[in-house]
């Protein structure tokens, strides 16, 4: 039995979960999400908990079992609490500004980068004196917010020599020494 797949997903009082033709819909105070489930996997709701079951012990069924349990659990946490990712822009002249759903990034290139955020993601840019600019992303969809954060980071990934780039909050960059002096 899958260790992750056999764990029941607790459903908070503020969240409603419906299963209709292998489509699991989760609705809560932060939003609404839906996930199509493989036809072989069954999803049961009983006593305020959701369980995921598989028909056999084949390799495919075992992998799908844990996968769909994790996806549904992430949806329940997302619509009840939400997810946040905080990023820091380390470098001279690096800036981030939000104008509605458009994120304007100044990352040391000859031009500014305008990034259109999905409507499910909310962004808040903060710049304080003597500190690196910070960007806070919020969403109920864990997959989407992770994808958006990875895309933003790809514009200027951190480099090991000076430590400049876009970092996740609390991330440590392993620094390299660089060239050594002449003989």
In three-state form (DSSP H/G/I as H, E/B as E, the rest C), the secondary structure along 38-49 is: CCCCEEEEECCE
Percent of the chain residues topping a pLDDT of 90: 80
Q: Taking residues 72-94, what's their average pLDDT? A: 94
Q: Model confidence at 179, in pLDDT bands (50, 70, 90)? A: confident
Q: Model confidence at 74, in pLDDT bands (50, 70, 90)? A: very high
pTM of the model: 0.89
Mean pLDDT rounded to a whole number for the chain: 92
Distance in angstroms (rounded) separating the CA atoms of residues 125 and 147: 18
Domains in the chain (CATH in brackets) are 9-80 (3.90.930.12), 83-168 (3.90.930.12)
Over residues 93-138, the pLDDT tens digits come to 899 999 999 999 999 999 999 999 999 999 999 999 889 999 999 9
Over residues 137-148, the pLDDT tens digits come to 999 999 999 999
pLDDT at residue 136, as a whole number: 97
Token duo for residue 64: 């799908």
CA distances from 73 to 66, 68, 94 (A): 11, 8, 37
pLDDT at residue 183, as a whole number: 54
pLDDT at residue 2, as a whole number: 60
Task: Answer for the pair 95, 133: CB distance below 8 angstroms, yes or no.
Answer: yes
Q: Taking residues 157-175, what's their average pLDDT? A: 92
Residue 42 clears pLDDT 90, i.e. is over it:
yes
pLDDT at residue 4, as a whole number: 86
Beta bridge partners, 126, equal 134
Q: Model confidence at 86, in pLDDT bands (50, 70, 90)? A: very high
Residue 181 clears pLDDT 70, i.e. is over it:
no
Task: Answer for the pair 148, 121: CB distance below 8 angstroms, yes or no.
Answer: yes
- Going by C-beta distance under 8 Å and a sequence separation of 6 or more, which residues neighbour residue 173? 158, 160, 163, 165, 167
């Amino acid at each position: 039995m899958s260790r992750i797949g056999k764990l029941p997903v607790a459903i908070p009082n503020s969240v409603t979960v419906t299963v209709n033709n292998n489509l699991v819909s989760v609705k809560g105070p932060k939003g609404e999400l839906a996930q199509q489930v493989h036809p072989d996997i069954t999803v049961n709701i009983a006593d305020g908990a959701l369980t995921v079951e598989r028909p056999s012990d084949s390799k495919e069924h075992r992998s799908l079992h844990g996968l769909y349990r994790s996806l549904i659990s992430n949806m329940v946490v997302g619509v009840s609490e939400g997810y946040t990712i905080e990023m820091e822009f380390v470098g001279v002249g690096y800036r981030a500004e939000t104008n509605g759903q458009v994120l304007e990034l100044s990352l040391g290139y000859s031009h500014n980068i305008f990034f259109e955020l999905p409507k499910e993601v909310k962004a808040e840019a903060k710049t304080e004196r003597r500190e690196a600019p910070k960007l806070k992303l919020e969403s109920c969809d864990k997959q989407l917010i992770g994808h958006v954060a990875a895309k933003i980071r790809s514009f200027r990934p951190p480099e090991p020599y000076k430590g400049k780039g876009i970092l996740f909050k609390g991330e440590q960059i392993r620094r390299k020494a660089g060239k050594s002096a002449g003989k």
